[in-house]
Structure 1
Amino acid sequence: MKARYVRISTGNQNVARQLAKSYPDEKIYIDIISGTVPFAKRPMGEKVIEDIKNKNITYLTVASIDRLGRSLINILSTISVLNEANIVLKVDNLGLESLINGKPNSAFKLIISVMANIAEMEKDTLLERQAQGIAIAKAQGKYTGREKGSVESDDVFLRRHNEVVKNLKKGTSIRDVAKICKVSPSTVQKVKNKIG
């Protein structure tokens, strides 16, 4: 079976671009999670790996290599798991497949290493720019972020996520609540832990 893995970092991002080249017979897996979380530790990443072990997937597509991760090591280890299971990985924006006639595609390996390095550099650049922006805002007295070391009370946190609380109390699954409320599954889990 063919499958497509989609990852967005936050619930307010749109998945349409990543689904633009999808086929009706593809099984879709969507994670709303940071690219810094290793693939195997993401809810849908775990499900993809489980379905691979159960021989339910033979072909996996992603829109771009950074959907698998923002770390070269994480991306390469995920590709290694796929190769060992003889799963063809297709990266849409490159038009390349990881395996040709069951053997590793050397061009794919080279280009993916370069692209994964770029994804990692982009993440580092983004964090650097964010830190610079915060420093400038602080210097201008405009910084409104939470003070370092301060802790948000459970009441404030739960009020801020009252829609998540309502959906959880209805018995909606963590994944579905994350999609409905446009937050990460880890935020939903945190709310669930706090409401008992």
Structure 2
Amino acid sequence: MKTRYIRVSTLNQKIERQLLKQYPDEKIYIDKISGSIPFDQRPSARELLRDIDRNKIQYISVSSIDRLGRNTLDVLQTIEKLHCNEICLKVDNLGLESLVDGKENPTFKLIISVLANISEMERNSLLERQREGIQIAKAKGIYKGRLKNTSESVDEFLAKYPNVISYLNRKNPPTIIEIAKLTDCSKNTVQKVKRYINKM
């Protein structure tokens, strides 16, 4: 079976660009979640991995490598899992496939490793700019900072609540109270997760 994995970071982002080179018979898996969340912790990605374990998938397409993630190690581990299951990964914007005649494509492996590193560097650069903005805000007295006694980043916080994110990303999501009951989280936690993902 041919499949396509699509990821956007927020509910408001459109997916049409990632469908430009779609095959007619592809099954689509869509996650609306930060690329910093590990691949195997995303709702649709987990479904895709389950289908891989059931030997249902032979071919996966993504529009670009950063759709798999923003962490180099996580991206390479995901690609390695696909390789171990003899699944061909195609990256549309590169026009490259991970397997050629059933064998690993060395050019693909080299380029993907470089691009995954660049993607992670771009994210780190963004985080650095955010830190600089916070420092400026602190100097102006308009930044209250994190909660006392915590050094947890936004990404670390969100990584703890993949189920909450999954419910929030649904086309017709349950109410905050319903999600809190379904995930055994407090209403405040669900509201905090929603606030963070809407800012991404």
Could you tell me the TM-score, scaled by structure 2's length?
0.75
SS in 1 for 2:5: strand
Task: Give, as a single letter, the amino acid of the residue that structure 1 aligns with 2:116.
Answer: A
Could you report, residue by residue, the CA deviation over 1:96-115 in whole angstroms, capped at 9, with x for unpaired residues? Answer: 00000110000000000100
Alignment-mate amino acid for residue 44 of structure 2: M
The percent of aligned pairs where both chains have the same amino acid is: 53
| Offset, 1:190 | 5.0
- Tell me which moved more, 85-94 or 13-22: 13-22
2:130 pairs with 1:178:
no
Partner of 1:33: 33
User: Contact 2:39/2:69 (CA < 8 Å) preserved in 1?
Assistant: yes
Q: Which residue matches 2:73?
A: 73
Unaligned runs of 5+ in 1: 151-173, 183-187
- The ranges of structure 1 where at least 4 consecutive aligned residues each deviate by more than 3 angstroms after the TM superposition are 174-177, 188-192
The equivalent of 1:98 in structure 2 is 98
The structure-2 alpha-carbon separation of the partners of 1:73 and 1:180, relative to structure 1 and needing over 3 Å to count, comes to: same
Given that residues 11 and 181 in structure 1 are in contact (C-alpha distance below 8 angstroms), is that contact kept between their aligned partners in structure 2?
no
Q: How many residues align?
A: 167
Alpha-carbon deviations, 1:37-73, whole Å to 9, x = none?
1111211111111111112111000111111111111
Q: 2:131 matched to 1:131?
A: yes
SS of 1:30's equivalent in the other structure is strand
AA in 2 matched with 1:86: E
Task: Describe the superposition over 1:110-137 as per-residue Cα deviations: whole angstroms up to 9, x where unpaired.
Answer: 0001000001101100100111112112
- 1:145-182 deviation per Cα after TM superposition (whole angstroms, max 9, x unaligned): x64216xxxxxxxxxxxxxxxxxxxxxxx856523368
Aligned to 2:7: 7
Where 1:12 maps in the other structure, the secondary structure is: coil
Segment of structure 1 superposing worse, 48-57 or 109-118: 48-57
Residues in 1 aligned to 2:30 and 2:115: alpha-carbon distance in whole angstroms: 22
Alignment CA distance shift 1:127-1:92 (3 Å): same
Once residues 181 and 69 of structure 2 are traced to their aligned partners in structure 1, the CA distance between those partners, rounded to angstroms, is 26
Distance (whole Å) between structure 1 residues aligned to residue 61 and residue 101 of structure 2? 17
Q: Distance in 2 between matches of 1:58 and 1:7?
A: 20
3-state secondary structure, aligned to 2:45 = helix
TM-score of the superposed pair, with normalisation by structure 1: 0.77
Which of 125, 147, 152 lines up with 1:149 in the alignment? 147
